[in-house]
Structure 1
Amino acid sequence: MTPDVFAELAAQGYNHIPVTREVLADLDTPLSCYIKVARGPYSYLLESASQGGEKWSRYSMVGLPAREVLKVFGNEIVFERDGEVIERLAADDPLAYVEDFQSRFRYPPIADLPIYTGGLVGYFGYDTVRYVEKRVRETMPPDTIGTPDILLMVSNDVMVFDSVRGKIHVITHVDPGEPHAYDTAQARLDEMIASLQSELPRGIREPSHGPLVHEEDFVSSYGEQQFKADVDRIKEYIVAGDVMQVVLSQRMSVSIESDAINLYRALRALNPSPYMFFMDLDDFQIVSSSPEILARLDHREVTVRPLAGTRRRGRDEDEDIAMETELLADPKEIAEHLMLIDLGRNDIGRVCETGSIEVTEMMVVERYAHVMHIASNVRGTILPEYSAMDLLRATLPVGTLSGAPKVRALEIIDELEPEKRGIFGGAVGYLSWNGNMDTAIAIRTAIVKDHRLYVQAGAGVVADSVPALEWKETINKARSIMRAAQMAEGGLDAEPTEENPRLPNKDESRPVVGQQETGVKS
């Protein structure tokens, strides 16, 4: 961008202008770039792969440490700058505050930029729904981890990898009203590019070994017997006509000594997925390889993609095909999936143009490292008067993490689950400065805090659910995180082959998850 173009955009009233340069990306990867350039509180790495890692997406994003952060705890909003609290206020609707905050940044339409140059990056936890649905505002279970309900980094310094062109877009944003804004931006770009020349920190290539972690070391805070009893309780609600499906989840945890970035390195190797992200949020980190879109908005086009219907991966290609055939022939799984397609259509129908909603992909099987799912794609066109935040209000949480009818399912989840879900089941991703949004559902996701790793997984309970199988499904869904923890604690030496899903389990009877930490609910 030339000084003349910058001045012209400033004259048009834009107050948040991206200034960019391109450099070759042939000597760096997004992961090495993050480790060299961006590590620190309020930084992130966003990557994507499809088909179990056979194809990696065009763009990856590295967010350098953000100076400003928005946090929401219940009805309290906290705005921090450089670690200091600048503003603290109460609000019945924090989502309206977030939307107003974003609207202060007037971002110009500029051609030839990547799909994302910066924005509000972080998460909206599952409990964000309480700002939208009044019936669940006062029924929240206890909070046992203590993370904010919403956390958004104000991300202005970004490196975007373009794997097609072999380039890195180095991007900073400035307010032209500030003195010497253009020169300041150029100096910042110089610093960012120079940082690419730095060496990887000592020890990153040979991480230390921690205590060995096995699946049976993970402790359930729910407990198998109570979980199974609550599956039966949900089936009673279904028979009574209260609800058609409820997604019941359990949280598992284990002590961990590894750096969270090594957990991410293990997870991306073991389970490459469409939404892979590492976020360092100061006193905790998020590590994820989520397979599922929560909601995406790309220039008025809305996309949701329900995943429902699960089988474990086979030990070889023949067993994979057999498992797929069984999955697509299972009337329970098909009925559940069709119900969740309808729920997705209804959710986006609240903000999309009449007649614009269509199912563009119907019940295909997607394979991941440890499980396979039935997936469908639903698209629509958002009405001009609605925004990304309106789409988030309409969809969070999705039916695949709650149930149907949604609000009654939310009430039953609050009644039965022993603790607040927090980040699990919420939206993780970005609201970009240009008005677009891309968010994943926080599943296959680990929270690392105070040297403890937390992972949560759910199962959709319907009328003919078998409690033991629903419990087993939650274990299968959490297995990629469990194995990543084992690999990270083992120094990243190799994939934990003794628990490879493609190999027979030597001891099918051994316990998978330990005893619960908390008491059984009465």
Structure 2
Amino acid sequence: MRTSVFKHISDPDSFKAQLLGWAQQFREVIFLDSNAYPQQYGSYDVVLAADAFTSIKTDYHNAFEDLKQYQQQAKDWLFGYLSYDLKNDTEVLKSQNFDGLHFPDLFFFQPKKLFLLKDNELEICYLNMCDDEIEYDFQEIAESQKSEVKSCPSVSIEQRISKESYLEKVGEMLKHIHRGDIYEANFCMEFFAQNTEINPLSIYEKLNAISEPPFATFFKNNTDYLLSASPERYLRKEGTKIISQPIKGTAKRVFDEEMDEKSKLELSQNPKERSENIMIVDLVRNDLSHTATKGSVQVEELCGIYTFKQVHQMISTIVSKVDEATAPLEIIKTTFPMGSMTGAPKISAMKIIEELEETKRGLYSGAVGYFTPNSDFDFNVVIRSILYNSKEKYVSFSVGSAITAESKPESEYEECLLKARAMREVLSDK
């Protein structure tokens, strides 16, 4: 079904920039970049999928079943996203908040053209119907020059929830916690700009340069764009092994090396941050148990501290084993949305989130990734991301933090502003 050609790439950094620039001609594009971040689990440094042969686009109703049928019939590489609002497919939940983006709830496509880069080795993997284009395309990519990107005016960002309202809403969430309705919930707010045009490629490149995260994504579906600097993996399948790596716990980087180490140490020992992380670990263990073989759910690493360009993060790794006959979509369906973006207990937290937030989350806090022909998969968590509908001229990014019994509303607000800084910076940069 596909033809593979292998090439040696002497300068991978230059090549990946050329590859992404070349891909802009296509209607459907997913570009995934690990930014050479050291990872225990990972298959490729860079992946580009472009030009849909087939695709699926739907709202939340029956979405997981529709995707399951598509994945089983295609038995090929599939790339796309799951929006947060697919929660409404698996539970009696709703999403009635404001939506300025209007993205479909689910979108996946089977690419005609696929590039897989690991170290200096590139696999070009085209559907047989267009494999005669491989050499021409490779030559075109290799000879392409970085075009001058037309700068756009600085974007004027508005905040959907005022500071005063944010503090009130976190107070309401704390009341739910003290009553015992929930233990923890991830509360998010939107920053947005209307009647605005941006250059998606330029914004993505700036955002990625600031953060260099392991799950960076440039996604395009015609007029819908995701420009993501996500540091978080949602779920990965390697054969019968399932890996989840939730992030809970954030501390800012400091220019002074000694002070930076102190910030890192304080995060590792912070009882509030650890309790946040451990609550989500318990939730993920429970989610994975729905499809795991008996006794196979394990915590490989609890509250590990990882350093990124902007922040230190607390990350745990939970794994399980599944039976070979278990459908990939069943594993995703029983763990989605990811616990790090909901809270515990999950359904109660999602109901309270819907009451208190003012924007439909959509693709934010959903997942982007791919299925392989042998039914493995890898998905990130859509955070630290800018969403753009070029037809509606609407730009949006959201940030959130975990609210627990120990939360101080002012501190949570400051954490949100810290997380928003990189997105605000690249949008306001002329």
| Fold match by TM threshold 0.5 | yes
Partner in structure 1 of residue 123 of structure 2: 169
- Residue in structure 2 matching 1:264, options 204, 211, 232: 204
Partner in structure 2 of residue 32 of structure 1: 18
What residue identity is the alignment partner of 1:368?
F
Equivalent residues of 2:248, 2:273 under 8 A apart? yes
RMSD of the TM alignment (CA)?
Answer: 2.1
Deviation at 1:69, TM superposition (A): 2.5
What residue identity is the alignment partner of 1:36?
W
Deviations, residues 193-225 of structure 1 (Å, cap 9, x unaligned): 343355336xx2x33333345xxx421112221
- Residue in structure 2 matching 1:192, options 137, 142, 149: 137
Partner in structure 2 of residue 230 of structure 1: 169
Deviation at 1:258, TM superposition (A): 3.6
Equivalent residues of 1:306, 1:400 under 8 A apart? yes
CA–CA distance in 2 between the matches of 1:19 and 1:74? 34
CA–CA distance in 2 between the matches of 1:140 and 1:379? 34
Q: Does 1:160 align with 2:100?
A: no
Partner in structure 2 of residue 481 of structure 1: 423
CA–CA distance in 2 between the matches of 1:457 and 1:473? 9
Alignment of 1:38-77 (within 5 A): 39-49=25-35, 51=37, 58-75=44-61
Detail structure 1 runs of 4+ shifted over 6 Å in the superposition: none
Query: For residues 384 and 57 of structure 1, do their structure 2 counterparts lie closer, same or farther at Cα, with a shift above 3 Å needed?
Result: closer
CA–CA distance in 2 between the matches of 1:369 and 1:229? 32
Partner in structure 2 of residue 341 of structure 1: 281
- Residue in structure 2 matching 1:149, options 83, 105, 116: 105
CA–CA distance in 2 between the matches of 1:307 and 1:106? 31
- Residue in structure 1 matching 2:222, options 282, 295, 320: 282
Equivalent residues of 2:150, 2:199 under 8 A apart? no
Equivalent residues of 2:101, 2:388 under 8 A apart? no
Query: For residues 195 and 146 of structure 1, do their structure 2 counterparts lie closer, same or farther at Cα, with a shift above 3 Å needed?
Result: same
CA–CA distance in 1 between the matches of 2:43 and 2:419? 23
Report which of the two structures shows the higher radius of gyration computed on alpha carbons. 1
Question: 5+ residue gaps in structure 2?
Answer: none
Deviation at 1:52, TM superposition (A): 8.9
What residue identity is the alignment partner of 2:187?
L
CA–CA distance in 2 between the matches of 1:358 and 1:410? 26
CA–CA distance in 1 between the matches of 2:167 and 2:324? 46
Deviation at 1:58, TM superposition (A): 4.5
What residue identity is the alignment partner of 2:182?
V
Equivalent residues of 1:52, 1:369 under 8 A apart? no
- Residue in structure 1 matching 2:371, options 431, 445, 453: 431
Deviates more, 1:362-371 or 1:26-35: 26-35
Partner in structure 2 of residue 464 of structure 1: 406
Equivalent residues of 1:38, 1:62 under 8 A apart? no
Partner in structure 2 of residue 505 of structure 1: none
Partner in structure 2 of residue 252 of structure 1: 191
Partner in structure 2 of residue 179 of structure 1: none
CA–CA distance in 1 between the matches of 2:361 and 2:350? 11
Q: Does 1:127 align with 2:96?
A: no
Secondary structure class of the residue paired with 1:372: strand
CA–CA distance in 1 between the matches of 2:399 and 2:297? 30
Secondary structure class of the residue paired with 1:64: strand
Between the two proteins, the alignment pairs up a number of residues equal to 423
Deviations, residues 74-118 of structure 1 (Å, cap 9, x unaligned): 43xxxxxxxxxxxxxxxxx121111111211346xxxxxxxxxxx
Question: 5+ residue gaps in structure 1?
Answer: 1-16, 76-92, 108-118, 175-183, 491-522
Partner in structure 2 of residue 8 of structure 1: none
Equivalent residues of 1:50, 1:57 under 8 A apart? no
Partner in structure 1 of residue 66 of structure 2: 97
Deviation at 1:366, TM superposition (A): 1.2
Deviation at 1:188, TM superposition (A): 3.4
Percent of paired sites with the same residue: 22
Deviations, residues 336-357 of structure 1 (Å, cap 9, x unaligned): 1111111111111111111112
CA–CA distance in 2 between the matches of 1:40 and 1:289? 22
